[in-house]
Structure 1
Amino acid sequence: MESLLHIQNLKCGGCAHTIITRLEELEGVTNVVVDNEAHSVGFNYTEAEELESVKTVLSTLGYPVEGESNPVTKKAKSFVSCAIGRLNS
């Protein structure tokens, strides 16, 4: 199945690198694509549980799905994820 999630706090290629790297580690999740302009993440998955895992990982990294709570702590996590992504890309 294909999914496209609109996320919060997405800023740059560093963010995208971190998101792609972490989501591709999930079993059953493939073809991860991040669109910085649209603030979205597209991917394929096979089971409903994998979709929930993707949402959980995104939130943990500081990129909650639009409509979810986005407190300062999540915004701060996204800056850390962004910096890590820049260093590793």
Structure 2
Amino acid sequence: MSFQFLGIESIFNIQNNDMMRTKVHLQHIKCSACEHIIFNSLSEVKNISDVEVNHEECTVAFDYHTKHDFEKAKHVLSRIGYPIVGKENKLKTEM
């Protein structure tokens, strides 16, 4: 089963120890260095696994156990400067 809403595509995989998989579209991904930052940051979050980042599609996909785990991942993404598309961007850029 797959759903997409505001840049969030959730794929529920009930057969894998009740883990869920999501794929979200992020703001500010520009290069492979961004991929590494996102991968390393999410890989450190408890109950987040199988992280896959694609800077060409501006997406990250990962497995999680609970809604709370998903919320932690969203918070980490926002904190490191890559909020989910449709969320407020608190980064200020100056030109």
Larger strand share, 1 or 2:
2
Task: Show structure 1 runs of 4+ deviating over 4 A.
Answer: none
Larger of the two Rg values belongs to structure: 2
Moved more, 44-53 or 62-71: 62-71
Could you tell me how far apart the structure 2 residues matched to 1:72 and 1:46 are? Answer: 29
Aligned length: 75
| RMSD of aligned residue pairs (Cα, Å) | 1.4
How is 1:1-89 mapped onto 2 (pairs within 5 angstroms)?
1-73=20-92
Could you tell me how far apart the structure 1 residues matched to 2:57 and 2:66 are? Answer: 25
Gaps of 5+ in 2: 1-19
The match for 1:80 is none
The normalised TM-score by structure 2 is 0.74
Question: 1:71 deviation in Å?
Answer: 4.2
Q: Secondary structure at the match of 2:33?
A: helix
Code of the aligned partner of 2:52: V
Could you tell me how far apart the structure 2 residues matched to 1:72 and 1:26 are? Answer: 22
Q: Secondary structure at the match of 1:2?
A: strand
Q: Secondary structure at the match of 1:5?
A: strand
Percent identity, aligned pairs only, is 35
Assess, with a 3 A threshold, how the Cα gap between structure 1 residues 12 and 29 changes in structure 2: closer, same or farther.
Answer: same
Assess, with a 3 A threshold, how the Cα gap between structure 1 residues 72 and 21 changes in structure 2: closer, same or farther.
Answer: closer
Larger helix share, 1 or 2:
1
The normalised TM-score by structure 1 is 0.78
Could you tell me how far apart the structure 1 residues matched to 2:35 and 2:91 are? Answer: 20
Gaps of 5+ in 1: 77-89
